[in-house]
Structure 1
Amino acid sequence: MAISSINKIMRTTAFKLSAIYLIIFSIFATFLIVYIAFNTQVLMTRQMNATIQLEVRGLVERYRAGGLNALVKVIEDRSRRPGASLYLVTDFRGHYVAGNVAALPKWVMDKRGAVDQAVTYQRLGDVDQRKQYKAVVNVYETFGGYRLLVGRDIGERETFRKVVEQAFIVSGFLLVFLALLAWLFVSRKVLNRIDMIAVASRHIMAGQLDERLPVTQAGDEFDRLSDSLNVMLSRIEGLMQGLKEVSDNIAHDLKTPLTRLRNRVEVTLASEEAGAEIYRDALEQTLEESESLIRTFDALLRIARVEAKSTQIEKTTLDIGAIAADMAELYEPVAEDEGAVLTWNSPSQQFIDGNRELVSQAVANLIDNALKYAVRHVAEQRQAQQDHEDEQTECTLPEQARIDVSVATNEGRVILTVRDNGPGIAKEDRQRVLQRFVRLDKSRTQPGSGLGLSLVNAVASLHEANIQLDDNEPGLVFSIGFLQMKPNNQGTEAH
């Protein structure tokens, strides 16, 4: 169990990061300490050798100027001063003449010049004569066989070396301690955040699509990651909710025509007196129902393709004023047949970046929707007035159904607006009617599938356009604001 826990800890990112930081800082600290110690030792050694050489030259000059007595006098005077300097004068037999050195290896005085290694010696007058010291020395032979030794005690240098060694050891323990602190910090802060994200992810995978990754408002990379993933999760939740609603709506709205189609076929087949004419009528009605179902599924597929922002949907610079005029001219004969008035004011040279087929379909859906409900509303008003004309002293017939299509610009957007004088849409239902298969109660008796405005909403979303529904008093004002584009000679579709 302990080995398993250790392996688990060693596999964590916190442990690996802490180990990497420990190794990096250890290498850096070791290099820094060794570099400083080495260069300090070199500098101290150079200074010692330079000082010794300077003193040797001074003493030799004194010997040449005043002889042995002058040299001995200077040596005795300097030997009584406290410090790290060493002096020794011996005769040709090696006997002590002057200085502050009591004993040193015999081979040292046989050398000439600087001795290339540290020499052990005993101080003259030291209480403990067994205590050994180390020094770097320089030997010079004077006239008459007398020899002069000048040196410097290296105890300070050894003390510095020990200080460096202690600093190295303390730094090592300090680095390990700081690495443990870093590991604890990363474990408690970073890994806890990761665990929170993992827990939230498991809840989401378990079906809780409304769950979101935690955001601590710290503004760090985990918050930015959580924000991005939460936006993605919201999008996924919306798509899943839309899929559920589509499934429910298909089951509800398409069940009726399918059931009606089946019942008609069953009744026709069960009729004993059915002749060729009855069968033909049944087949024609069945064909109409089938075509209506096919159109519904085609609309669903088109909406799904548009909402998925398919890469196959190509965009170019369009003159939406020309498109609106084309659609209005197309529906003008239909409006006349229905007894409605269709007008438009759509100046050309109003460019947007979009797909011509989809934008045209959206404009056609808006005109068709406005025409259908405005005509029905005016007809109902006329009928209601005729039913109560005997109770009124003055009779005023309702106006004709009117639909107006216009295109204008406002703050960098091209606004396509379709107005009608129909029944309008209540404020609380204006966002709901943009969803698939949504049909208000008062319009369920009208033919249609409830997908027209859904396609308009999908096209607007694909083109990054905003939709606004307002009251026309009476009727509805449906506006779509597209981003305005500057025309170019190569990508603009001519009207």
Structure 2
Amino acid sequence: MTALLDRVAKAASTTAFGLSALAVAFFLFAAAIVVGALFWQTNNLLTDQVLTTLNAEARILSSEMKVGGQAKLTETVSALSRPQGIGLYYLEDASGTKIAGNLNRVPPELEGEGHGGVFTYQPAPDGPERAHLAVAIPVDVGSHLHLIIGRDIEDQRAFADSVRMTFLLGFGVLSILGLLGGLAVSRLIVNRMDEITATSRQIMEGDLSRRIPTSGKGGELDALAGSLNEMLDRIESLMNGLREVSDNIAHDLKTPLNRLRNSAEAALRDPRGGEAYREGLERTIEKSDELIKTFNALLLIARLEAGPLQESTETFDLGRFVADVSELYAPAAEEAGFALSIETVQGLFVQGNRQLIGQAIANLIDNAIKYSRGGEPGSAITVRASLLDGRPAISVGDHGPGIDPADREKVLKRFVRLEASRTKPGTGLGLSLVAAVARLHHGEVRLEDNQPGLRVVLLFSPKCLIAAPNGEGDAEPGLAAQ
């Protein structure tokens, strides 16, 4: 019993119960206004009907007095004065002596007044029946006579009492049901909140694989749980990435650091002395620069994955920008034996981080030059900037050995280098940086077959698109080859 009371008290103290109680109170208040207005209108209608009937009857009795005199009026009043009837009459002469009627006396509520009103009377003076409520008006039948006619409205009062009682009982039942419903709703919400709290505590204890359960009904709580689960997926991905970076640094950077140390030791042991020291220091500086580049790339990727850089975005012509960056690599491509083809559209305006997109383009072109086979017929690197399915896209294609489909997802991770590229200088962070730039702009990186070779497509979110060439949307834009 104590546990049940504790659960009820916990549910009653929740915001959901408070809002439910407030809604019930507002509903009852509105219902009270509506029912009160209906009751008041009904009571006025019934009262108007009674007064209309009395006024019509008063005109008839006045006519009787004018036509037949006192005798005719007395006869008519006597005929209408039925015991226990709803019609009430009292006729007296100038001395106050009752002549006819079923009322024993003038009601005290009407004495000394020249107009009608409401009064109570006893239908049977000696009976157990309670006093009835009635309404009466005086009738002008001459100065020597005094006539009062009325109607018993006890049924109307009984109707009003029944409506009032029904109203109170109904509101009491609605209040109880509303509060019980509020408790039930708040209990359901408390149960969901308890599940979320329990899951959160398990996550805080280190179990990042836990997720908030959903009911599958698609309500607001399910939407909240879905958003939280997406956030947890992102957190778990970042944590896994952090662990992966730590492992990669421990394994992949250990070798170059050992080589750096061995190079320094070899210089110290070289019998040539100063000349050997100088050569050793130069090699150490070169290797240190490569390590610094690696750490800078890691820091940049970590910064990109930490969140959006809204303050660094700007609007620019993507086609013109890609062409400008690509032209910087034309001499290097020619020196390596490649023909660099730049195909872009003008007027493709996007909003994004110009510097990071430029770094991604540079990495893709540098990879294409580094890992493709130059000097062979058809050796070309094609750089494009256009719309793809209504999304801004940058692609770099080559005619090299390509990447096996099974390895394409893997090469987007940090420090991943395939066996065929182990003999080339690099850190395995180039495509990781491109993927991070894509995620920053809510896009993606696709590795496709260039038949032969590899084509890397950097797709941006449609939200990045500011203006398409000629406003044509998905239409195939004309390419301006350079």
- Normalised-by-shorter TM-score class: 0.7 to 0.9
What per-residue deviation string (whole Å, max 9, x for no partner) do you get for residues 283-332 of structure 1?
A: 12211111111111122233334443323533332353673475356343
Task: Give 1:390's aligned residue.
Answer: none
Alignment correspondent of 1:38: 40
* Aligned-residue CA RMSD (Å): 3.5
- 1:492 counterpart residue number: none
Aligned pair in 2 of structure 1 residues 439, 21: CA closer, same or farther (>3 Å)? same
Report if aligned partners of 2:91, 2:146 keep a CA contact under 8 Å in 1. yes
Partner of residue 303, structure 1: 301
Identity score, percent: 40
Cα distance in structure 2, aligned partners of 1:362 and 1:436:
15
CA 1:349–1:366: 2 relative to 1, 3 Å = same
Given the superposition, is the C-alpha separation of residues 479 and 89 from structure 1 closer, same or farther in structure 2, using an over 3 Å criterion?
closer
1:391 corresponds to: none
Aligned to 2:411, which of 433, 440, 443?
Answer: 433
Name the stretch that deviates more: 91-100 or 69-78.
91-100
Instruction: Please state how far the C-alpha of 1:70 moved relative to its aligned partner.
Output: 0.7
How far residue 201 of structure 1 moved from its aligned partner, in angstroms, is 2.7
For structure 1, the residue ranges without an aligned partner over 5 or more in a row are: 379-397, 489-494
Q: Distance in 1 between matches of 2:128 and 2:189?
A: 64
CA distance in 2, matches of 1:62, 1:173: 54
Name the CA shift for 1:111/1:258 in 2 (closer, same or farther; >3 Å).
same
Q: 1:199 to 1:110 in 2, by over 3 A?
A: closer
Structure-2 residue corresponding to 1:407? 384
The question of 1:351 aligning with 2:348 is answered yes
Larger Rg: 1
* 2:64 alignment partner, SS class: helix
C-alpha change, 1:92 and 1:466, in structure 2 (3 Å) is: closer
Cα distance, 1:207–1:79 mapped onto 2, change above 3 Å: same
Superposed, 1:146-185 pairs within 5 Å as 146-185=145-184
Distance 1:106 1:407, change over 3 A: closer
TM-score, with length taken from structure 2: 0.82
Give the equivalent residue in structure 1 for 2:475: none
Checking the alignment, whether the CA contact within 8 Å between 1:109 and 1:147 is kept in structure 2 is no
The gaps in structure 2 that reach 5 residues or longer are: 471-481
> Where does residue 420 of structure 1 map in the other structure?
398
Residue type at the aligned position of 2:147 = L
Deviation at 1:25, TM superposition (A): 2.5
Aligned residues: 462
Q: Is the 8 A contact 2:122 2:131 kept in 1?
A: yes
Task: Give 2:166's aligned amino acid.
Answer: A
Give the TM-score of the pair, scaled to structure 1. 0.81
- Asked if structure 2 preserves the Cα contact closer than 8 Å seen for 1:317 and 1:487, the reply is no
1:373 maps to which residue? Answer: 371
Q: Tell me how far 1:127 sits from its aligned partner.
A: 7.6
Q: Which residue in the other structure is 1:206 paired with?
A: 205
SS at match of 1:448: coil
Give the letter for the 2:368 counterpart: A
CA deviations on 1:183-223 (whole Å, 9 max, x unpaired) are 24313433333333333333333333333333333232222
Q: For 1:64-463, list aligned pairs within 5 A.
A: 64-80=66-82, 83-101=85-103, 103-104=104-105, 111=112, 113-123=114-124, 128=127, 132-140=131-139, 145-269=144-268, 271=269, 273=271, 275-307=273-305, 308-320=307-319, 323-324=322-323, 327=326, 330-333=329-332, 335-336=334-335, 338=336, 340-346=337-343, 349=346, 351-353=348-350, 354-375=352-373, 399=376, 402-407=379-384, 409=386, 410-412=388-390, 416-463=394-441
* Structure 1 residues 154 and 322, CA gap change in structure 2 (3 angstroms): closer
Structure 1 residues 21 and 348, CA gap change in structure 2 (3 angstroms): closer
Whether contact under 8 Å (2:415, 2:429) holds in the other structure is yes
SS state at 2:300 partner: helix
Greater Cα offset, 244-253 or 475-484: 475-484
Q: Which amino acid aligns with 1:69?
A: A
Q: Secondary structure at the match of 1:469?
A: strand
